[in-house]
Structures are given as C-alpha cells and as structure tokens.
Amino acid sequence: MKVQLKFKNKVYENYLIDENGVIYDLNGNIQETYLYGNRPLFKAHGVHKYVVHSFIGYVENKVIHHINENKHDNSLSNLVYMDPGEHMKLHKSGK
C-alpha cells in the first residue's frame, strides 16, 4: 500500500511512500530506498521518519526505534515510537 509522503505535518504532494520505506513519484518511479536520502528533498531526514510520519502520524517528544535494530530495515512493522528515556535505556542495556 502506498500513501502520501509526510514529514512531521508537511505533506509532499508529488510523492508516495510504501510500508517498506520506498518513496515514489506520482508516476510510480522509485525515488528513494536508502537509510538517508541522497536527493535534496530526502537528505535531511532518515527514511524511517518518513515511513512512521506517513503511516502513523507525527508524535511530538517521541523517538522512532527500529525493533530489530537494523537501521536499514525501515519497514513499518519494524518501527515503533518510544519515549526518549526508554529508548536510551534500551540501547544502553544492549537489547
């Protein structure tokens, strides 16, 4: 399933994103598949943020955690919002 690409509350009207973090233009051409974009539009933010913001929405004062800790796996099923403190504890504990 593809939805409109979003970051925070900004909608990128000319782009769609799927549940695996692949970004498309409106003609269906793939625009982005990397952890961090190499195109100016996508360079500043990790693809995981676009996935979560587009499918779930932006939640202030939360961080996005990769459940399997593979930062190249930006699939929606691998991403979850966490409190920053919990996230830090999780990574310090080695889990």
* Per-residue model confidence as pLDDT tens digits over 39-88: 666 666 788 999 999 999 999 999 999 999 998 899 999 999 999 999 99
Beta strands, E only, 1-55? 2-7, 10-18, 23-25, 30-32
Q: What sign results for the dihedral spanned by CA atoms 43, 53, 29, 78?
A: positive
Which amino acid, residue 52? V
Tens-place pLDDT, residues 6-49? 999 999 999 999 999 999 999 999 986 665 566 666 666 788 99
